[in-house]
Structure 1
Amino acid sequence: MVVSGCSRASSGSGSGDAKVTLVWWTHDNPSFVEANKKRIEEYKKIKPNVTINYQYFPYDAFIQKAKAAYAGNNAPDIAQLFGTWVTDYAKNGHLDQAPNQEDLKQNFFEAALGAYTVDDKIYGIPQEYNLENGGVLAHPQMFKDKGITYPPKTYAELIDAAKQLTVRDGNKIKVKGFDFVSGDNIFFTFLSFILQQNADYWTSDGHVNLTGPEAVTAMTKLKELITVDKVTDLSRFGDNLDSSDYFFKGSSAMTIRGPWTIASGVNTYKVNDFEYIPMPSLTDSPPYFAAESGWGEVVAAKSKHKEEAWAFVNYMNQKEQALDFNVTTFTVPARKDAAEDPAYLQKLPMLKTSIDVLQYGKWVGPVQDRDFFVKSVNDNFQLIASDKMSVEDGLKKIEQSVNEMIDKHLSVGNKSS
């Protein structure tokens, strides 16, 4: 798992062409590793005096290893972190500020930079724009077989189509007309429905407001998909398989899921009878959605070779290199000019839907413990959708638990600083 390569050393520190070794940690997603190794080999030709000790680890092990390394001030020079993690590490002084801050703000999407930004300072460079909303996996042949207009242009048309496409075997749904029941998509669809009512779920003091009328409408609409429209259910929630896996197996006509699932359909399931279509807005407003800041590179504050490390990170994030990374990894560009480059959609035409909605993405916000926030929404949604709790009571529970988590998290952060 160790690859030797090279990065650009900076002469600004007086290092000249002195030999330098940089340690770079990432997770072991195969397509990411392939793209990263390619960058190393390219860079080897630019600065052969700098060696990159590239190490990659299984996702869960990587999370724990990174936590221990930063806590012990023994972090690698460069790490590929998920945006949500970056904020805490930056607040606790573990990360170096990125150079060329104004250029980053101009050249990268705001939603992609969100989690990398603390007190208006940027502490890393995202390589992808991570979104779970804005697009829907769809089987066009199922629409054609039923004589339904395709694709649906409004939310009402989507629900009407979903009802007609739902196939039942007695009381059991055999083919879901429209599925959104997955860990991430209950959460993100709920937030998108709030945003599409031109509302916000954050207060000015960094807490959440999830009991307002827009939040009630958003949660009610989600519940109705199960209890009134009856186009999906909770039967597979928490399964080992993802909701997109069931879609590719033909168990749903439409499934709201992130664009990263397209690669699974094409490469794993070898399915070619599906498309990725726009998710209509709940209202007449644009299809706003909440997005996380995806994977990107950070440089350790304690690194002895910050200039060399940033030089390599900057190289990886130049337009051509960034574009190749996104195509190789089937991810959405964080760079605006890479997303706008026709070459991207020429190579990944199914991602047009995602590219078209990037302008409507809003950073999900300072969620602190992301997994807790998602779990709180999911757990209470199940009770709401099962008529074991009212929408209003469920939202009160979510708001209270999340705000308590935020207070606890901020309190710990203040003590450590």
Structure 2
Amino acid sequence: MAAGKGKVKLVFWAHQEDAFVEAYKRLIKAYQREHPDIEIKFQSFPYDIYNQKLKASFSARTPPDIAEMFGTWVPEYSRNGALAELPNGEELSKEYYPAPIGGYMLNGKLYGLPMEYNIENGGMLIHPQMLKEKGIDRPPATWDELVDAAKKLTVRDGKDIKVKGFDFASLDNITFTFLSLILQQNGDFWGENDHVNFQTPEAVKAMTVLKTLVADDKVTDLTTLGSQLDTSDYFFQGKSAMTYRGPWTIAAGLNNYQVKDFDYVPIPSFTSEKPVFAAESGWGAVVAEKSKAKAEALDFIQFMAQKDHLKAWNLDTFTVPAKKEVAADPEFVKGNPYMKTSLSILQYGQWIGPIADRNYFFKQVNDHFQLIAMGKESVEDGLKTMERAINDSQDNHK
């Protein structure tokens, strides 16, 4: 918003996360040092209310000039003409991995820049000592080895699981694992008209495998779903030997739990194919089309996207780089050795696709997976029901 006497004021909103907020503030200070004629007012809001606040502000046509958005949210705004297009978008997009940039693209145009590669797949937390105690001298290299190790590592107290051998049952990872197992069979989960298609042999096999891990192999259970703690918290408390989770959880182990006897290793592909996986576009920055200082706002988000600035932001926030040149920088791995596993598989990520309502999509997959795992629904019936519900939602958002 332009102010008097040539001074330009920009309003920048983001969600409240300590590392993110501090990293943004450092970038704002750096930008204002180079642009003394621009003042950026930064405000952050609790995650639980942030998405609704954004929707309300854009609906009322009083949005902030710059908004941090999760990539899955962006298409709703870009389709409605609410976001400013970046100049040279097609060329800029080539500087990023396809998975994180996907949500910011629409019809070949770019409507924002991702700050991170939101990755929940490709790596898992392990306790090496637990593996050694069961005679397992290295992390599993194939899916069969993973299942075999998980069975050996599971510790039971009667019918209850005391230590989970392989925990993937978190609200995000159930969906991501299901979709990735489809992709690793050379399958697809999108049909026509932005509809999902779960009536494929690959989808049936993927859901059957996940059900088997819970219902038959019993290497994990559903007791912690919906808990205030993350599956990674239980891992760092020693309640699971291997946990399928994104690298962002590593910081909790190092900082909150002071745990050092763990590693973050690649998870093997379900097949002999490459370990392809589905990924969302992560947190990034967009500019409102209604901004009265659109040029300055676009300049600021491109400033944040410069290699050294973005590298510092990714290191400070313990996030995976969305930009190829940052991920390829040897200093990045040196400054964050636990990222090595994630960096090695970024090329295999595929954008999750045009999900209209992220929360509803994931809830349908999670809810029906639980019913399937508990034997209350067959795999085929569960897939049909979740497909129908998701496609109805997709249509309702057009």
After superposition, give the CA deviation of every residue in 1:130-158 in whole Å (9 maximum; x if it has no partner): 01111101001101112113111001111
Report the alpha carbon displacement of residue 105 of structure 1 after superposing the two structures with TM. Answer: 1.9
Which residue does 2:231 correspond to in 1? 243
Alignment partner of 1:30 is 2:18 = yes
Q: Percent identity over the alignment?
A: 56
CA distance, structure 1, for counterparts of residue 141 and residue 101 of structure 2: 30
2:125/2:264 contact within 8 Å kept: yes
Q: How does 1:188-207 map to 2 (within 5 A)?
A: 188-207=176-195
Q: Structure 1 residue 166 and structure 2 residue 146: aligned? A: no
**2:372 matches 1:384:** yes
Matched ranges for 1:139-218 at <5 A: 139-218=127-206
Deviation at 1:103? 2.6
Counterpart contact for 2:16–2:47, Cα < 8 Å: yes
Q: Output the CA distance in 1 between the equivalents of 2:53 and 2:94.
A: 33
Does the 8 Å CA contact 2:198/2:384 hold for their aligned counterparts? yes
SS of 1:84 mapped into structure 2: coil
Q: Provide the residue aligned with 1:364 in structure 2.
A: 352
Secondary structure at the aligned position of 1:107 is classed as coil
Aligned to 2:387: 399
Alignment of 1:270-289 (within 5 A): 270-289=258-277
2:84 paired residue number: 96
Aligned pairs for 1:218-367 (under 5 A) are: 218-367=206-355
Q: How many angstroms apart in 2 are the aligned matches of 1:40 and 1:109?
A: 25
**Contact preservation (8 Å) 2:90, 2:110:** no
TM-score calculated relative to the size of structure 2: 0.98
Question: By how many angstroms is 1:345 displaced?
Answer: 0.8
**Range with bigger deviation, 52-61 or 259-268:** 52-61
Matched ranges for 1:107-118 at <5 A: 107-118=95-106
SS in 2 for 1:45: helix
1:93-148 deviation per Cα after TM superposition (whole angstroms, max 9, x unaligned) = 11000122133222011111111111221100100010111110100110111211
Residue 47 of structure 2 corresponds to residue 59 of structure 1: yes
How far 1:18 sits from its partner (Å)?
3.0
Residue 182 of structure 2: SS of its match in structure 1?
helix
Residue deviations 1:56-86 (CA, integer Å, cap 9, x gap):
1111222222111100110111111111111
Q: What is the total number of aligned residue pairs between the two structures?
A: 396
Q: Distance in 1 between matches of 2:193 and 2:81?
A: 22
Displacement over 4 Å in runs of 4+: none
Q: Secondary structure of 2:250's match?
A: helix
Q: CA deviation at 1:41?
A: 1.3
One-letter code of the match for 2:235? F
- State the distance in 2 between where 1:149 and 1:222 align: 25
SS in 1 for 2:278: strand
For 2:23 and 2:227, locate their aligned partners in 1 and report how far apart those are by CA, in whole Å: 31
**Structural RMSD (CA):** 1.3
Structure 2 unaligned segments of length 5 or more: list them.
Answer: none
Q: Distance between the aligned counterparts of 2:291 and 2:14, measured in 1?
A: 17
Equivalence for 2:107: 119
Q: Which residue is equivalent to 1:4?
A: none
| AA partner of residue 153 (structure 1) | A
Gaps in structure 1 of 5+ consecutive residues: 1-8, 10-14, 411-417
Cα drift, residue 22 of structure 1: 0.7
